[in-house]
């Protein structure tokens, strides 16, 4: 007679003396030992975990964005679409994280805020790399990372690399659209500015979806990502306002004022403007 206490799972492995375990595969000992509070306050654990989890999701976003850029430039559009859809799904997870952090009250945060020193989310290098990958290039932020020469070199390479919008514009040109020549051989460190030829190309794509189906899908994937990023930025701003009001950020930024200002930046301006024109 079977032992009902096993629930019919007699073949489940229990001897791991010479096998890799789940914890070993995920390096859980290292991962779960990384939440080191600098105060005795209960809620600092929440603060640390939210930011660490967000950094893990950003690592995945970068992994997918960088691969998508390469796929677009190689003409592997279906693979790129799958990667960009995963980016959008991942962004939803990061947006929802603000709801959890918002359970931290102003009084609770002030109990351990001083322990952060000048450390701030403003210094997240993965977030900067996401901005770079989407085309928002700001050279002055590189100075933050000079303390670590290896990291600084890594960021500088990302700063000089083409963004996903550069790759998209290249595809418009490949499809036969007359794109302004300087855009196809430009300095990728320069902040992208709206161009009439790009707007005309996207307008044509959206007016003849059947003919330019791949480009149309690419445009919509990019809009999805920018839409979600702006939602993330807005939730970030409101969460900061909810917890510290209009105090300066620990990293020296103006806090809510800075976060409101970056909401005005558009990554893919033509893709938004054509909605008025078509």
Query: Domain of 68: which CATH number?
Result: 1.20.58.480
Q: Is 105 annotated as a binding residue?
A: no
Report yes or no on whether pTM surpasses 0.85.
yes
Residue 135 lies in a domain: yes
Q: What is the model's pLDDT at position 160?
A: 97
- Determine whether the annotation assigns residue 63 to a binding site: no
30 located within any domain: no
What is the Cα–Cα distance from 54 to 172, expressed in whole angstroms?
33
Is 113 marked as a binding-site residue? yes
Is residue 13 a known part of a binding site? no
Is residue 48 in some structural domain? yes
Q: How far apart are CA 163 and CA 273, in angstroms?
A: 20
Residue 91 lies in a domain: yes
In a domain, residue 212? The reply is yes
- Number of neighbouring beta carbons within 10 Å of residue 132: 24
- pLDDT for the residue numbered 17: 82
Query: Residue 97: its pLDDT value, please?
Result: 96
Q: Please check if 180 is assigned to a binding site.
A: no
Residue 26 belongs to a domain: no
Q: Structural domain tally of the chain? A: 1
179 is in an annotated binding site: no
| Chain segment 226-273, per-residue pLDDT in tens | 999 999 999 999 999 999 998 887 777 788 988 998 898 999 999 999
- pLDDT reported for residue 7: 62
48 labelled as ligand-binding? yes
In a domain, 11, yes or no: no
**109 labelled binding-site residue:** yes
Cβ atoms 69, 123 nearer than 8 A: no
Q: What separation in angstroms does the CA of 237 have from each of 142, 193, 216, 242, 249?
A: 23, 25, 32, 9, 11
What is each CA distance from 160 to 155, 186, 266, 269, in whole angstroms?
9, 11, 20, 21
CA atoms within 13 A on the CB side of 54: 22
Please check whether residue 27 lies inside any domain of the structure. no
- Domain containing 53: what range? 41-113+123-276
Residue 49 assigned to a binding site:
yes
Per-residue pLDDT of the chain (278 residues; tens, 9 = 90+): 445 555 656 778 877 788 899 999 999 999 999 999 999 999 999 999 999 999 999 999 999 999 999 999 999 999 999 999 999 999 999 999 999 999 999 999 999 999 998 888 888 999 999 999 999 998 999 999 999 999 999 999 999 999 999 999 999 999 999 999 999 999 999 999 999 999 999 999 999 999 999 999 999 999 999 999 999 999 999 999 999 998 887 777 788 988 998 898 999 999 999 999 88
Please give the pLDDT value at position 241. Answer: 94
């Amino acid at each position: 007679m079977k032992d009902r206490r096993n629930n019919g799972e007699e073949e489940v492995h229990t001897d791991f003396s010479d096998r890799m375990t789940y914890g070993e595969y995920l390096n859980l000992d290292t991962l779960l030992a990384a939440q080191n509070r600098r105060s005795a306050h209960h809620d600092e654990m929440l603060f640390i975990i939210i930011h660490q989890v967000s950094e893990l999701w950003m690592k995945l976003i970068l992994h997918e964005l960088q691969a998508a850029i390469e796929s677009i430039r190689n003409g592997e559009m279906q693979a790129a679409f799958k990667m960009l859809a995963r980016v959008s799904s991942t962004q939803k997870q990061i947006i929802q994280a603000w709801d959890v952090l918002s359970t931290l009250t102003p009084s609770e945060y002030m109990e351990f805020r001083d322990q952060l020193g000048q450390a701030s989310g403003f210094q997240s290098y993965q977030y900067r790399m996401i901005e770079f990958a989407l085309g928002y290039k700001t050279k002055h932020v590189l100075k933050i990372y000079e303390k670590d020469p290896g990291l600084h070199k890594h960021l500088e390479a990302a700063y000089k690399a083409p963004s996903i919008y550069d790759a998209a514009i290249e595809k418009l040109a490949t499809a036969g659209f007359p794109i302004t020549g300087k855009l196809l051989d430009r300095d990728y460190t320069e902040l992208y500015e709206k161009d009439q030829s790009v707007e005309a190309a996207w307008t044509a794509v959206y007016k003849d979806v059947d003919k330019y189906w791949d480009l149309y899908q690419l445009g919509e994937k990019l809009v999805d990502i920018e839409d979600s990023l702006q939602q993330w930025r807005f939730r970030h701003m409101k969460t900061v306002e909810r917890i510290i009001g209009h105090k300066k950020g620990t990293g020296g930024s103006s806090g809510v004022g800075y976060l409101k200002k970056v909401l005005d930046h558009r990554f893919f301006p033509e893709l938004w403007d054509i909605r008025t024109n078509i």
